[in-house]
Amino acid sequence: MRYLLVNFGGPRTLKEVPSFLTALLSDQEVIRTYLPQKIHNAIFSKIAQKRAVSVREDYASIGGKSPIYEDTEWLAHTLSTKLNEEVGTFHRYLVDTHKSSLEKIASTTEKIYVFPLFPQFSYATTGSIATYFAKHLPSAVVDRLRWIRSYPTHPGFIFAYQEKIRSYLKKNGLDEEEVILLFSAHGVPKRFVKWGDSYGKECRGSYHHIMKGFPKTQSRLCFQSKFGPGKWLEPYTKTASSTILQWNKGKKHVVFVPITFTSDHIETLFEIESDYMPLIRKNGVIPHRVDALNRSSFWIEGMLSILKEPCLHQNHHLMRNPRKVY
């Protein structure tokens, strides 16, 4: 294996929702507590089981699964064909896939180029997977990993999203000057940024570069998916949606753009559709949602261009606490 795509993974069936949530909430790069790992796992496993009841209903409403797994596997297969090289996958929170994935990675004797499907870096996403590898792969294998840390302003990524937006506007007969582009990024706690996470800065970089292609269009960058107490990156997508009449300048169309998502999943297919778009609609404004990059040809070409000129990092460079692991 020469290349490796890494992603969160998402439940492939409704039965997989509890194990997916348990793996997610047990990750101390995502839910940061000062508790010993065993105690943390015990507490958040119970929380995951309770949340699974309602979350399973959310997944049922979008077809009974997340598209992330299938999209990631499709991207790997397509890139493998174009590169004429083996492209593997790793799904962080699909525990049943870990054994076979780790065995394939460990059996590789050459350098592996790791491509995270998270355009903007965070220790809670890309960093979490790097930490997992450090804990579960032999050190000699970890030393052979070469990471593309992030690509928030890379022309390949920026062009792919610009084309997604242009295609949507054209298909729906929307003029650039008559719409608002509401970029909705997944949020993270503000304390993450205070502790050195570059995610917020990289989100703003992506936003400003994409908007260079729409100089006549009104826009705003917001953050969604807040979970638990404390302040998260602001402004919140929910607040922007509920107060739309205070800042829309009379424009009647708002187009959501999932700027940090390369594949649609529960946060776009359910959260944006069910939690935010109704707030826009309630105020007499028409909401729209651009699909994530998913399997678009623009994204395939963008990924290939990123792989051609990578800025590579070793695994420990992406970890928040490398000494704690080693």
Could you please state the CATH topology (level 3) that the domain comprising 155-289 is classified under. Rossmann fold (3.40.50)
Q: CA 252 to CA 246: how far, in whole Å?
A: 13
Of residues 7, 2, 5, 3, the one with CA closest to residue 24: 7
CB 1 within 8 A of CB 105: yes
* CATH 3.40.50.1400 intervals, the chain: 3-149+311-325, 155-289
53-97 pLDDT, tens digit each = 999 999 999 999 999 999 999 999 999 999 999 999 999 999 999
Question: What pLDDT does 42 receive?
Answer: 95
Select from 247, 94, 219 the least CA-distant residue to 162. Answer: 219
Query: Is the model's pLDDT at 232 over the cut of 80?
Result: yes
Instruction: Assign 321 a pLDDT band (cuts: 50, 70, 90).
Output: confident
State the pTM of this model.
Answer: 0.95
The CA–CA distances, whole Å, from 21 to 41, 46, 131, 195 equal 12, 10, 19, 25
Per-residue pLDDT, 269: 97
CB 253 within 8 A of CB 179: yes
Mean of the per-residue pLDDT values of the chain: 96
User: What is the reported pLDDT for 325?
Assistant: 61
CATH code assigned to 3-149+311-325: 3.40.50.1400
Check whether 274 has a pLDDT greater than 70: yes
Which are the contacts of 282, defined by CB distance < 8 A and separation ≥ 6? none
Tell me the pLDDT band of 272, cut-offs 50, 70 and 90: very high
Going by pLDDT thresholds of 50, 70 and 90, the confidence category of residue 326 is very low
**HEC sequence for the chain:** CCEEEEECCCCCCHHHHHHHHHHHHCCCCCCCCCCCHHHHHHHHHHHHHHHHHHHHHHHHHCCCCCCHHHHHHHHHHHHHHHHCCCEEEEECCCHHHHHHHHHHHHCCCCCEEEEECCCCCCCCCHHHHHHHHHHHCCHHHHCCEEEECCCCCCHHHHHHHHHHHHHHHHHCCCCHHHEEEEEEEECCEHHHHHCCCCHHHHHHHHHHHHHCCCCCCEEEEEEECCCCCCCECCCEHHHHHHCHHHCCCCCCEEEEECCCCCCCCHHHHHHHHHHHHHHHHHCCCEEEECCCCCCCHHHHHHHHHHHHCCCEEEHHHHCCCHHHHC
